[in-house]
Chains A and B, each alone.
Chain A
Amino acid sequence: MSYLTYTGRRLIQMLPVLFGISVAVFTIVHLIPGDPADVLLGQNATPDRIKLINHQLGIDRPILIQYINFIREIFHGSLGFSFDNKEPVAKLILGRLPETGMLLTGGIFLSILIALPLAILAASKRGALRDQLVRAIPIIGLGMPQVWIGVMLILLLGLKFPLFPVSGFGDTFLQHLRSIFLPSLTIAILLSPILIRSLRASMLEILDSDYVLTARAKGISQTRITFVHVLRNAVIASVTVLGINIAYLVGSLVIVERVFVIPGTGSLMIDAIAKRDYPIVQGVTLYFALVVVVVNLLTDLIHAALDPRVALK
């Protein structure tokens, strides 16, 4: 099967998945306790006023009608309109994408930057002290909550040694880069242990393979064996691990954005939940779901491109 046909088929397969997600998202959002009008109007709002606003927002209509309206707005491309500021949800999400995109990219980039040398170092001599030390990193790294990591980084690199801003996103591109360093590092500290473990394991497996033995017998240097013959092949397995964990990272982004005051889609989601702004919660959840589905597809495609043994079916 050609690459293009495979991609097309996978995209079509995404449609029922997205439909299922839309039903699940809509149902879950409407199960959130609380009344949007009550949240909008504040503590002292009278029951009559709450009733009026609920009617204006259309949330007193039958649930099926509300779902049909939700689907209609998806096809219109607006994803509905915010209860709070009446803006189209799609516009609000698009407005927050650069922040989330930069943060995610920065996090992945720093993760790779941390994971690669440490995995190579560990795999270079199995069982040695350096291997033991590197193997300890994932255990420590995976045990730390992201909020705590974020706060510690702020205290150290934002206040004690004020190298980076404590929070915010900045106004210029350079300021953006400086601002997302600490949140990206927080993500990297969460993600890199998984990458280190996967990459180290793959490298050790390949180092034991026959073709590496042949290469050594041919007198090829250890550096060339590591970088050209071992690392290139070990990376293939790690791409899948990275892909799966990017999906998990979407959830972490919500917390990291909050701690570092990055106005991304995660912050949009949290605020919308607090305000019971159903259209935004539905829109962002759908968007996150779409990201996960697309990342999984891309992972499969990249894996197939890197490893000719993988057949496209």
Chain B
Amino acid sequence: MKSRGKLLSGLFAAITILATVVVPVSAHAAPSGDLIFVRNQDFSTFNPDLAQNDSIFIQQQVYEPLFMITPDGKDVKPWLAKSATVGSDKVTWTIKLRTDVKFSDGTPMTSADVKFSLDKATPGDGWGFLNTAIDSISTPAADTVVIKTKFAWAPLLSDLACFSNSILKNNYGGKSADEFFKSPIGTGPFQLDHWTPGTEIKLVANKSYWQPGKPYLNSVTWKYVVDDNTREFMLKGGQADINEEPPASSIASLKAAPGIKVGLFPAAQSRFLAFNHKVPALADVHVRRAISYAIDRNALIKVVLSGNGFASNSILAPNVGFYDAKTPGIQYDMKMAAKELSMSKFAKGLTLEFLASGGSIEDNAVASILQASFKKLGITLVIKTQEPSVKRKTQKSMEYQMTTTGWTMDISDPDELLTFALSPEGGTHAFYTNYSNKLVIAAVKRGQTNVDPKIRQAAYSFVQKQVAEDAMMGFLFNAPYKYAWRSNITGFAVTPTYSYHMEDVKKG
């Protein structure tokens, strides 16, 4: 008995020692699990300046910015940077960098890499407009970057958090830009394994990643599968782990499917009914307001989103910084629509044209709903259908009367959308509407150039109120990002600015 007792206590001691040794090891366990995404977009580039939705989310796993958008989408937090302070001149920003960050080739990230990346991004053809306020970048120390702006520029940290300002290796690691973007080096949790255009792109864990113990996954593959049914079959059949943007009509059946989880993530994206203010009838604010009142948004949400969404009341989505819930965004009210029309110069009726995108469920729904409401108001609606890219061209050349359009925020600061949509500096004739309101333009400028959040909130609340009252566009709805995944996947979440942190995802 005594020897058995000794044996047991020996065994217990051995287990205790093993546990103390093993636990720290398992805390830094090697990445495991190969995750497969299916999506209807084909990855196209590792060049951040040229990235569109097809490439942004994947690039974000390879490259990282100095600041990261917070999970609520309304602010940023330090990421590759440790801190940022703005001087009393309001134009000198000192950014301290983390010193433990390494690129996927094992070399440390320094201020030289940051300067190179931001210098490259600033005059960029694609997203360079975000950095127009940057005057100069200097590197007084390996862990310090000083950015001088041309004028006080409040959105700077939000701009730096955009994927287009991701930190790449200095001088492309001695390669040409084309060579570098074929085999990119970043500080992100994953690095490129292979990319077969038109088929798939696979990333594998970056062993030099700076966040201890992450990523949890060994690899992530994004497969390009256009057919909605096939993506759903692949998910249900276990050939895929995450299905990106399943159709709204399939959400209910996916929710009921065993072993499948569905996520509807709040999105900083909005859909609008754009008016061409050059058209005499639509230059009349009462006509625009009448149309905005005549949109049955709930019916639209039911048809287009199968009920998964909510009516929009502002040019900003609720997940964007400085959104004002009290904005008097026009909602469905046929009595008010009739009243507004009676106050216009077109009280006796008019004919308007709606430009629809061929095959678009949304455009068909908007057209039908508008037609039904317009009939009651004495407005004749003519529907013109064009192929999607032709429709965009028609819209941009201002040869339309009314059409649908939309926006997804890429940064947490409202400046990106408000400059694009309301300011002449956006270069888009106010989102191709030709809307112009000097007070609104001045308020947008005030929001840009004041770092005081109170002043900014006041400016942006005014902008939202005025734009809503002017019925610059008809605010339609805010739709969530839709994802479905197998129940053994944990930690997957999508931010309102449409990105995900795959370093936090596990496959059980």
Contact = CB atoms under 8 A, between A and B. Distances in A.
B328 interface: no
Nearest to B396: A47
Interface string B404-434: 0111000000000000100000011000000
B233 interface: yes
B392 A43 contact: yes
A294 B415 CA distance: 59
B386 A33 contact: yes
A154 B237 CA distance: 10
Interface string B186-202: 00000000001111000
A166 B239 contact: yes
B44 A263 contact: no
B389 interface: yes
A155 B233 contact: yes
Interface stretch (B146-154, B212-220, B224-232): B224-232
A127 interface: no
Interface stretch (A34-42, A61-69, A110-118, A212-220): A34-42
A85 interface: yes
B42 A271 contact: yes
Query: Interface residue tally of chain B, by bracket?
Result: 35 or more
B223 A261 contact: yes
Interface in B137-175: none
Interface in A10-44: 33-35, 38-39, 41-44
Interface in A87-111: 87, 92, 96
A293 to B, nearest CB: 26
A298 interface: no
B387 interface: yes
B236 A42 contact: no
B487 interface: no
A312 interface: no
Interface stretch (A70-78, A157-165, A192-200): A157-165
Contacts of A33: 386-387, 389-390
A250 B166 CA distance: 44
B125 interface: yes
B389 A42 contact: no
A166 B233 contact: yes
- The 9 lowest CB-CB distance pairs between A and B, nearest first, are A34-B389, A263-B199, A33-B390, A42-B52, A166-B237, A166-B233, A46-B427, A33-B387, A261-B225
Interface of B: 42, 44, 52-53, 125-126, 196-199, 223-227, 229-230, 233-234, 236-237, 239, 386-390, 392-393, 396-397, 405-407, 420, 427-428
Interface of A: 33-35, 38-39, 41-44, 46-50, 52, 84-85, 87, 92, 96, 151, 154-155, 158-159, 162, 165-168, 258-261, 263, 267-268, 270-271, 276
